[in-house]
Amino acid sequence: MESQLSMIIEQSFNSCYSFYARQELDELSESFTITDPTISGHPIVFVSSGFSKVFGYSKDEVIGRNGRIFQGPETDRKSVMEIREAIREERSIQTKMLNYRKDGTPFWMLFHMSPVFSKEDGRVIHFVGVQVPISQLRWPRRSASGVVRNGGGVTMCEDGSRVRGDILFGSCRREVCSDWARVLALESVLDSDSSRGLDIEEPCEASDLEKRKAATAFDNILSVLTHYSALTGRFVCGNRCSLPRAGQLSSSLNISLGRIKQSFVLTDPHLPDMPIVYASDAFLRLTGYARDEVLGRNCRFLSGVDTDSSTLYQIKESIQTEQACTLRILNYRKDKSSFWNYLHISPVRNASGKIAYFVGVQIEEGCTNQDRHGLSPEMRQLSVVGAVKVAVRSLSMCAGPSRS
């Protein structure tokens, strides 16, 4: 399972950009990640060498994981929600965040995130996230003893001279310097979490220089991606060059559906031949197909020579009458091996009550690990349908006018 996910993540990058893109991106000094919203969990598919220097993680520790691993107990939920909203709307954002390094130390950073679009069909291919640590030297805090401390480990006396660790810059008043050890001890007591209390208490704003630095970093990254996507024939751009094709799901819906771990597909009845527009990772594992081999096809490709035609008619009838149905059907994997599929099909309506999609939930008959949650097959299928309906309705309510 892990090896298959690793292949999907590697393919996410390699299918869009030529081999040399990784090498050139690694030569950039900036800290950044590239994520894929179409993969379950919206994982990181590329991480820069600069990122490892800032956060202390190795690339292997980050690839395949969601960016939330860098958040902590004091990370502002408002910033997190702003980022989620930008993903839902597929737009750029700059916001300050309190993130945590591998060793647990927090630091304020400016986070710049922008989508990368397919030039051909207008869908979001990836998101690029640039991290610029925010300098806190201009945000001092004055103690009762007249000593002012900064988040960067620099301490300034009230006469303007500075101390970093045991090194004195300039000349403080003698009485202040003689009390140096006592002041530090007192502040350590006052800051119960001395390793990070100051940074958390002193949120700071990014300077214009840091904002420009983040934007410039994204432009440099996009330039590399644009160049090396041309070599694969899958051109990308920083702005949506064309409208998304009908049936393509938004990044937000892809991410929401990716949280559902069961095997299922979403089909669009408003498109010719009712193609699959979403396939879960569990469905891909069950059938052996890759995602790009499934999307855009009608579900009948799973049928074979021994599939009962009466079950296919039953499926067609339930779709035409817009009714749910449950049946047992013989399906075939990519390797031509057959399996009995306990299939449930149900219409999915948007916030206005109109049918937006049909969901098909698959359970392989006789699979020994299907009962690990103690639920019957029927209850597992209904839970998937319910989760899909919540995701679709929530998105349609936020997106304004519903599709017909």
Residues in the chain: 404
How many CB atoms neighbour CB 248 within 10 A? 20
pLDDT of residue 347: 96
**pLDDT > 90: percent of the chain:** 57
Strand-pair category, 162-164 with 154-156 = antiparallel
Q: Minimal CA–CA distance to 137: which of 126, 121, 115, 153? A: 153
Q: Which CATH number fits domain 251-399: 3.30.450.20, 1.20.1580.10, 3.20.20.150, 3.40.50.300?
A: 3.30.450.20
Q: What is the pLDDT of residues 41-96, one digit of tens each?
A: 899 999 999 999 999 999 999 999 999 999 999 999 999 999 988 998 889 999 99
Burial of 214 (C-beta count, 10 Å sphere; 0-12/13-18/19+): buried
Domains 2-134+206-237 and 251-399 share a fold: yes
Q: What is the pLDDT of residues 180-217, one digit of tens each?
A: 344 344 444 334 343 444 445 455 788 999 999 999 99
Query: What is the strand order of the sheet 167-169 is part of?
Result: 141-142, 148-149, 154-156, 162-164, 167-169
Residue spans of alpha helices (H) in 139-233 = 174-178, 180-190, 197-201, 208-230
Q: Which of 22-36, 83-97, 246-260 has the lowest mean pLDDT?
A: 246-260
pLDDT of residue 183: 38
pLDDT of residue 244: 60
Name residues whose C-beta falls within 8 Å of residue 6's C-beta, 6 or more positions apart in sequence. Answer: 64
**pLDDT > 70: percent of the chain:** 76
Q: What is the pLDDT of residues 376-398, one digit of tens each?
A: 888 889 999 999 999 888 776 66
Fold (CATH) for 2-134+206-237? Beta-Lactamase (3.30.450)
pLDDT of residue 89: 84
Q: Which of 14-18, 220-224, 243-247 has the lowest mean pLDDT?
A: 243-247
Q: What is the pLDDT of residues 153-166, one digit of tens each?
A: 444 444 444 444 44
Parse the chain into domains and list their residue ranges.
Answer: 2-134+206-237, 141-201, 251-399
Q: Identify whether the C-beta of residue 358 lies closer than 8 Å to the C-beta of residue 348.
A: yes
